[in-house]
């Protein structure tokens, strides 16, 4: 007869091996994140001339509400 903990430990070990085998390499996703970052920077740069005054007033109102 096996000790009472051996079956749960064996099950846990098998689950760990199964999950470890499913790991994937995320290095291939780096170009995608670079593209998302670049596109975000372009959108922000393109919208800044149109919304800078509104954004400035929004931030000053928010800071004045926080500071009292």
How far is residue 48's CA from residue 21's CA, in Å, rounded to a whole number? 46
pTM, two decimals, is 0.45
Give tens-digit pLDDT for 27-66: 667 788 899 999 999 999 999 999 999 989 999 999 999 9
Q: Is the pLDDT of residue 1 over 60?
A: no
Q: How far is CA 59 from the centre of its chain?
A: 25
Q: Give the pLDDT confidence score for residue 24 in this predicted structure.
A: 61
Structure tokens at 67: 């500071």
Q: Give the pLDDT confidence score for residue 11 in this predicted structure.
A: 77
How far is residue 64's CA from residue 68's CA, in Å, rounded to a whole number? 6
Q: Give the pLDDT confidence score for residue 14 in this predicted structure.
A: 78
Structure tokens at 1: 């007869």
């Amino acid at each position: 007869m096996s000790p009472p903990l051996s079956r749960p430990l064996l099950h846990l070990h098998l689950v760990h091996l199964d999950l470890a085998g499913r790991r994937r390499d995320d290095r291939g996703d780096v170009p995608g994140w670079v593209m998302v970052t670049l596109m975000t920077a372009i959108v922000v740069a393109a919208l800044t001339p149109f919304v800078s005054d509104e954004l400035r007033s929004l931030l000053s109102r928010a800071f004045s509400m926080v500071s009292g």
